[in-house]
Amino acid sequence: MPNQLKVFTGKANPELAAKITEHLDIPLGQVDIGRFADGEVTVKFLENIRGTDLFLIQPTPPPAENLLELLIMMDAAKRASAKRITAVIPYFGYARQDRKDEGRVPITSKLMADLLTTAGANRVMSMDLHAAQIQGFFNIPFDHLYASAVFIDYIRQRNLQNLVMVSPDIGGLKMARAYARRLECGYAMVEKERIIANVSEARNLIGQVEGMEAVVVDDMVDTGGSIVKAAEILKDRGVKRIEVVCTHALLSRDAWKKIQDSPIDNFSACDTLTPPKIKEFTKFNLVSVAGLIAEAIRRTHDEESISTLFV
């Protein structure tokens, strides 16, 4: 059927893809992703995709095979005559190097844009980019989704009293302020200094938080150092309860243990990434963005507005 909507996934987060197709009420497409004896990725679509509106769901965290799977799937889809290929990348990896802040370093987010376009993407969809200006690296349409569309209602359901939204650094202040405006509450910011990559030091708190219940909002949590230090400062300043909401829970190294042992009372993250299955981590809640992504896919296929999702 011409222009039929089809959704396929790589191996990075098949659970999310299954939820998305359930919301769309269509079957998840069949694709064989294997390895040659030396580990090289091989892809074969197991059904006809000629003339289809194709959506490939694949976050791109390390290892690099996740990115390679997406690129190779797009190349296979292009050569199989898919009408339009949309790369749905819930977590856009390699985005943190978005400018040259010192000599002899790459701009990997621009490299990602070039790779995706060359491989055959006609459109890209992602969620809570590390830097919104990354959209400008693409010469094809880019749909930037926001986890706030699901987190706002989630925070309301938490029934927190005397709420204050907190940014763990100056880079997230705009996000914290936007949440505060929607939730009709105050906001604050932890001042920190980044010493080297993945190492930062929280120094001060700007804003009134004493006796309040705080929600720290961030786009991603990697090693957990910044978010834990922010929580410690909030606790010292008299915050009664500390919750964290983040879009992408990378949680590298011993981040899980840091958070478990910290003053954080509850840690909530989206299912853009498959979280490690650590049974002893009792503070973790998973908030699904499958419905949001599914609606964005449906509207893209039907040529409807996506921006109205965030009004």
Show which residues are catalytic.
192
Is 283 in contact with 259 (CB distance < 8 Å)? yes
Q: What is the DSSP letter of 45?
A: E
**Bridge-partner residues for 45, per DSSP?**
31
Contact by Cβ (8 Å): 84, 54: yes
- Round to whole Å and give the CA distance between 249 and 147: 13
Structure-token pair, residue 168: 């763990």
Q: For residue 286, what is the enclosing H or E element?
A: strand 284-287
For 71-77, the CB contacts below 8 A with 24+ separation are: 71/115, 71/116, 71/119, 72/41, 72/42, 72/43, 72/119, 73/8, 73/10, 73/31, 73/33, 73/43, 74/116, 74/119, 74/120, 74/121, 75/119, 75/120, 76/43, 76/44, 76/45, 77/45, 77/49, 77/120
The dihedral of CA 141, 298, 309, 66: what is its sign? negative
Length of the chain (residues)? 311
In angstroms, the CA 2 to CA 299 distance is 17
